[in-house]
Chain A
Amino acid sequence: MMRAWVQIWDRREPPHVLAAIRILLATVVLVDLLQLARLDLVVTLYADVSEGGLAQIMSRDHLPWAYRLLGNGPGMATLCWSVAVVSAAMFGVGLWTRVAGIIFVLASVNLAQILPPTDRAIDTLIRNMVLILSFSGCHRMWAIDAWLRTRKGWDGSDVPAWPRFLIVAQMLILYGSAGAKKVGLSWTPVGDLSAIYVTLSDPSFGLIQASTLDRFYWLTQLTTVSIWTWEWLTPLAAFAWWCRATRSRSGRFRAFLNRTEFWHRWVVIGGLFHLGTILTMRLGMFPFGTLALYPAFFHPNEWRRWFGAKP
């Protein structure tokens, strides 16, 4: 069993998917961070109150690491934000990718420590993912590092597949955990399935007018039961993913899941839910950040086939 486990994580594959996720994630992060500068919020969010910020940093027992190292000063907020922006940009273009990724994670941690309410679930997810990508071969393609090394976009060599598997595992944990938490009556079939109606009625997130929501109450109930079922199907989706990778083995249920393309359907429905949140809710970069990870759900050669490239 140990040998089989080691073999799974020892697989190799072309770096297309990892490189694409690196670029997509960095783009999402950069748009998010640059928006802060455009709205003139950098100092407000990341400076101490003595420098015009909202955070009471210097009176804390545990200072954010940048403030611990450099102390307080007029340019600290801009410096902390700039480190995050520059490292994210370097990570995206693939320049000193691994170092840039780790610096970005530290910069993101620092921003989170300065004003914790500004750090949302998507920031945690992105830190988790950038850390994995920093140890991956995502810099072997569509990266300045790759070009400097081989004078090509990609030299044709494979990279370890385990980072992509870990990204998929992370997404399965995310959806599975979120589904298991949805035991409140507003989510479950024993309740009234009002969760989406109630969530969309929250003026901090929802963008749909109350009268429209009232008119389409039945649709919000249908969406509630669909999301709840989809998230509770995550363990089965994990099994279907495994069945796809081992399709040559026997077993009726494996054959059924592969024949019905359960994995494809589960992934597409998940993507549609995120697209739905873009249209109906104001969640910032959350749906874009999660969708940036969706390429991991399929093998690079599948993507290449879909885009008409020769394997």
Chain B
Amino acid sequence: MMWPRVRGTLIALLLLCCVVEAIPVPALRERHLNRSLAREEAERWVGILEPFGVHTTSSELLGQALTVSQEVRAVRAIVLGPWRTFSRQLKLAQSWGLFAYSDPHPGRLVLEGRAKDGAWDILFRAPNSGDERIGKVVFNRRMRGVWDDAGDRPKPGRLYSRWVTWVAKEVFEIRPDIDVVRVRFDRLSVSMDGPGTTANEVPSHRRERYREDYR
């Protein structure tokens, strides 16, 4: 008779921890709020709140969001302390987004190759145009996690450079006619004002690798 009670108590505690952890309090830092997505969103909220008599500015709004986020997170950290000691070891978590933040400025991965005659050719352009063999490797969900996390961000880190070196090696193996590989992200500006208003793509994070360096 004892075990069902113990089990019921453990399950109640487990569910409590999971629900508290799942409460969507964004882990905001100032750098997040400096991003164009956050600034644009704040500007739009200022416009929406104005007719309801709430007079504020986008910087005030972002400042309040940061303060509330920090305070709530501090309380949650205290409540979840013991649970997180366990859950971090097993990488268990309850932070789910399912595309909660649609990014109107995503990057499009583009791989170019320069043939021996000096002409540049687009080898792969996300999501699916170009060499199918390159697309399959690059778009494996785990591999995409690497370049999407490390490269498609304001300042790509060292992992991005290592990834570029690796993907260029793959391309050199698949395409013996290519001497130079160029990797870049073309920054899109998807307009929220509706279709047909997307701006031109702006290239960023351009890196080049040379076949001779792999010999």
Contacts and interface: CB of A to CB of B under 8 A. Distances in A.
B206 interface: no
A195 B100 CA distance: 8
A240 B153 CA distance: 42
Contacts of A49: 162
A186 B192 contact: yes
Interface residues of A, number: 77
A81 B22 CA distance: 30
A106 B109 CA distance: 33
A194 B188 CA distance: 15
Given A118-B142, A180-B24, A202-B106, A131 B127 contact: no
A5 B15 CA distance: 13
A54 to B, nearest CB: 5
A190 B142 CA distance: 36
Contacts of B41: 184-185
A259 interface: no
A297 interface: no
A68 to B, nearest CB: 13
Interface residues of B, number: 68
Contact of A204 (B148, B150, B163): B148
| Chain A interface SS verdict (over half) | helix
Given A119-B91, A180-B24, A284-B141, A198 B198 contact: no
A178 interface: yes
Contacts of B23: 177, 180
Interface in B34-70: 41, 44-45, 48
Interface stretch (B3-11, B74-82, B113-121): B3-11
A131 B92 contact: yes
A188 to B, nearest CB: 10
A56 B159 CA distance: 9
A2 B102 contact: no
B97 interface: yes
16 contacts: A45-B146, A49-B162, A56-B158, A113-B91, A118-B145, A173-B96, A174-B98, A178-B97, A181-B100, A184-B100, A190-B48, A197-B190, A197-B195, A199-B99, A207-B127, A217-B195
Interface of A: 2, 5-6, 8-10, 32, 35-36, 39, 41, 44-45, 49, 54, 56, 105-106, 108-109, 112-113, 115, 117-121, 123-124, 127-128, 131, 162, 166, 169-170, 173-178, 180-182, 184-187, 190-192, 194-199, 201-207, 210, 213-215, 217, 231, 282-286
Please name the 3 residue pairs, one residue from A and one from B, whose CB atoms are nearest each other, closest first: A284-B141, A214-B195, A181-B100
